[in-house]
Structure 1
Amino acid sequence: MSSEVKETFIPRRPPTPGPDPGALAAKVRTLGPSMTRSMQRVAVAVAQDPAGCAALTVTGLAERTGTSEATVVRTARVLGYPGYRDLRLALAGLAAQQQSGAAPAVTADIAVDDPISSVVAKLAQEERQCLADTAAGLDTGHLESAVGALAAARRIDVYGIGASNLVAQDLVQKLLRIGLIAHAHADPHLAVTNAVQLRAGDVAVAITHSGRTTDVIEPLRVAFDRGATTVAITGRPDGEVVQYADHVLTTSTARESELRPAAMSSRTSQLLVVDCLFIGVAQRTYDAAAPALSASYEALAHRHSHPKRA
């Protein structure tokens, strides 16, 4: 099957409005690596020259990128727009932002001979860009729904492997401190064993940048089948994990390289989403959360004080 007609997985979720113009560049950076080569040509073209592409018909953009009209339409949909007309409107808006000096910066890859000062500058810029991209592309409708489910949950399970498990533990620690029952699972067997016990009224959260981590997808699938509300935090909204997610929260990250496996930006973006979830839940459960948080501070205060000298 040629790349021109390769079918792209569309998540099983209700349609949502296309992202605002400021989120378009972030969408291209996040989703580009998972697209077919022909779709990547369309995505790169609209990101590099939004004004020029906004002036083109679907036929014109197909000719410019050496693809087909069907590929242009599929690319628009993968980027989050109902059709090409909606993408053109976003391109026009992005072009206007760039003309006003609001164009997003692009961080160059780190080279093996870069001085440490350049490494610091590039990493700092990349982190800022990833956070901005994540915020711009985050579906606040799904975020609100996920917050509501977490706030009302009888029990919360969070799944993450490797670096994503660090984020899972961060979310669980935050939820525990405001009085919610939450557990982080890194062992895939234990994760599935716990997922079997979930039911309606419980929540399962899967954290996977690639969207393809089997050890995270499997317990989420079990939780989904058991009737629990499921949430996926992922950098690949076209990944397999979203098949079993009621709510998908997309993160942005820089491309990983030889010098940067498990790039920090993937965790930074995930942690932003975790903080948004926590603050939302704390707001909704404030009457119970505030005393619980105060009690946890008091219980730990002596561990942070200087020991008295004899």
Structure 2
Amino acid sequence: MTSEPTPSGMAPFGKGVFLHMQHRLATLPEALARVCRFALETPELVVRMSLADLARQSGSGEASVIRFCRALGFEGFREFRVALAADIAYQQGNPPKPSSDLAERLCAALRSTSEHAAPETLRRTAALLLAAPHVDVFGAGLSGMLAGMVAYRLARIGLLARAFSDPVVSDEVTLSRHRGSVALLVTETGLTLRNEQFLSLARDRGARTVAITGHAQKELQALCDEVLVASPLMPLPERGELGPVIAKLFLCDLLVQEVVHLRSSGAGL
């Protein structure tokens, strides 16, 4: 299961519409997702379109456009279009500065991640970790380095957690696991072939599966008991940029806080 953003998670008017669309994209039904992708790719066109034009250009019906706008917390298409235009104007009126722009992008991603991290999802995930005899954390590339930090953080609160970035070693360890263990995937890109193999093998062995990701695709959600989504940086980061790591570490600390709370209250026992 995954955390569902709510209209209350919207940023102040004129800021955050792009972030909110990016965060919701993977969780929307396909007809609404087509509208979302079109708005993300061509926002300057969308603000000049009528409802009928957007429905036709995005390949969805007018009713789907209205449902998309309401899913983002707007009363209708007009309100969405005005807010989108304000967000475009805000971004164009604030030319990037080397340090302050990066700080704002990081802060916006952290705020969005915090607003969309559903307490019940964190609570269920923390309960899985607290009950697990082992927690195996896997990531590849930069996510492999991040997996090591996540495993370290979990180990510091007394959980038996280890990180793996080598797929062969990961498979060998996973084959020895039993029901109740947790396989935790850390990924920015979502479901790759390697990630799918890690999760599928873990489920075959009876382990519970969790993902901390920047992209909550439906295919990834189908392989996981719980999915925690880190909001992306906007504009989207270039290859090799370290910014996306910050929101995932923040999610890890939120999760650790919930584990500590459950342990102290006895609710996870």
Pair 1:252–1:84, CA change in 2 (3 A): closer
Pair 1:187–1:223, CA change in 2 (3 A): same
Structure 2 counterpart of 1:146: 125
Pair 1:261–1:42, CA change in 2 (3 A): closer
Alignment of 1:19 with 2:6, yes or no, is yes
Pair 1:285–1:152, CA change in 2 (3 A): same
Q: Percent of aligned pairs with the same residue?
A: 23
**Cα distance in 2, alignment partners of residues 62 and 43 from structure 1:** 18
Normalising to structure 1: TM-score of the pair?
0.66
Can you give the 5+ residue segments of structure 2 that lack an aligned partner in the other structure?
11-15
Q: Displacement of 1:19 after TM fit?
A: 2.1
Q: Displacement of 1:226 after TM fit?
A: 1.7
Matches within 5 A, 1:115-264: 118-238=97-217, 240-254=219-233, 255-256=235-236, 260-264=238-242
Q: Do the aligned residues in 1 keep the contact of 2:175 with 2:202 (CA within 8 Å)?
A: yes
Structure 1 counterpart of 2:37: 40
Q: Which has the larger radius of gyration?
A: 1
**Cα distance in 2, alignment partners of residues 131 and 219 from structure 1:** 28
Q: Displacement of 1:229 after TM fit?
A: 1.1
Structure 2 counterpart of 1:61: 51
Pair 1:104–1:287, CA change in 2 (3 A): farther
- Relative to structure 2, which stretch is displaced further, 30-39 or 150-159? 30-39
Q: Displacement of 1:62 after TM fit?
A: 4.3
**Cα distance in 1, alignment partners of residues 45 and 106 from structure 2:** 21
1:285 match: secondary structure: helix
Q: Deviations over 1:53-107 (max 9, x none)?
A: 9xxxxxx63434533444863x78xxxxxx558427x1149x69x99xxx89976
Alignment of 1:28 with 2:21, yes or no, is yes
Pair 1:37–1:225, CA change in 2 (3 A): same
Normalising to structure 2: TM-score of the pair?
0.74
Alignment of 1:266 with 2:244, yes or no, is yes
Amino acid at match of 1:20: P
Tell me the number of residue pairs that the alignment of Structure 1 and Structure 2 aligns.
Answer: 248
Structure 1 vs Structure 2 CA RMSD: 4.0
Q: Do the aligned residues in 2 keep the contact of 1:252 with 1:269 (CA within 8 Å)?
A: yes
Q: Deviations over 1:204-252 (max 9, x none)?
A: 1101111033333311211122221111111111164333111111111
2:186 match: secondary structure: strand
**Cα distance in 1, alignment partners of residues 35 and 46 from structure 2:** 17
1:119 match: secondary structure: coil
